[in-house]
Amino acid sequence: MANYDAKFDFSAKRRSSLFNRSFTMHAEPPAEKPYSNKPSFERAGSVKSIYNSIDSIKGKVRRLCNLFESPKSPSRGVDETQTVAHAPSKLKPTKAVDSGYNHSCPFRLPGTEDRIVVYFTSLRGVRRTFEDCYAVRMILRGFRVWVDERDVSMDSAYRKELQSVLGEKNVGLPQVFVGGHYVGGVDVIKQLYEVGELAKTLERFPKRVPGFVCDCCGDARFVPCTNCSGSRKVFDEDEGVLKRCLECNENGLIRCPDCCS
């Protein structure tokens, strides 16, 4: 009988503990005491604070913009398109391209009044310079006029000649002279060509036969020196020593006697 009472007490305690556990699980937590210094984590309050900070930043940016804006700028209520349309233009008018070359230009190339002279380079060390030189040569060849092409990479004397004429040490290429008058570089030639003024400028010069190619130099404008055969050295029989050939340039070349005479 005592054993039965002990089992009954144990099962009763177990049921009471389960009941108490379920009660504690569903019971509401005790109310917390309010604290005056505890921060608020309400969502609405945090969103309001974010919007207030954004508004303050916008106000600072607007004040900075007002400092740099002109006081005469139109207000937001005024149509800005109408204001710009009636405002006087501050841009300078575009200068039209002169017909032909400028005869008042101080740069002259003596002895070339009857021809067109182009200073260029055939080396491809600088791609942009080579392309500009090639473009100018092709434009002038399209008019089938004879052009005195002076390659500064083949003869340094042409570079010195161009520097002395223009009065500058660092001269860009190409450079064009028409009838002894200085015209300009690649930009000027392209502009004159696009507006049709270059054709008028070159009308008075004689035309070449279509497809003409010099049989002597192949349009290279240079041939090996006939005196030293391009070696730049000649033997002096009187003194019995080799001397520098005075008829060719630093590369042992001379101007083509057929097409450049």
pLDDT beyond 90 at 106? no
For 73-100, the pLDDT digits (tens) are 444 444 444 433 333 333 333 333 344 4
Instruction: Quick: pLDDT tens for 205-236.
Output: 988 888 888 999 998 999 999 999 999 999 98
Task: Supply the pLDDT for residue 13.
Answer: 53
Q: Using one digit for the tens of pLDDT, what is the confidence trace for 49-74?
A: 555 655 666 666 566 556 545 444 44
Smallest CA-to-CA distance from 219 within 259, 254, 159, 253 is with 259
Model pTM score: 0.60
Q: What's phi and psi for 148, nearest 5 deg? A: -85, 95
C-alpha angle 103/106/108, rounded to 5°?
A: 80
Residue ranges matching CATH 3.40.30.10 in the chain: 116-201
Helical H runs in the chain?
A: 2-26, 43-68, 80-86, 127-142, 156-166, 186-195, 197-201
Does the structure show a pLDDT above 90 at 155? yes
Least confident of 63-67, 119-123, 210-214, 242-246: 63-67
**CATH entry 3.40.30.10 includes domain 116-201:** yes
Of 242, 243, 250, the closest CA to residue 225 belongs to 250
Q: Which residues pair with 255 in a beta bridge?
A: 222
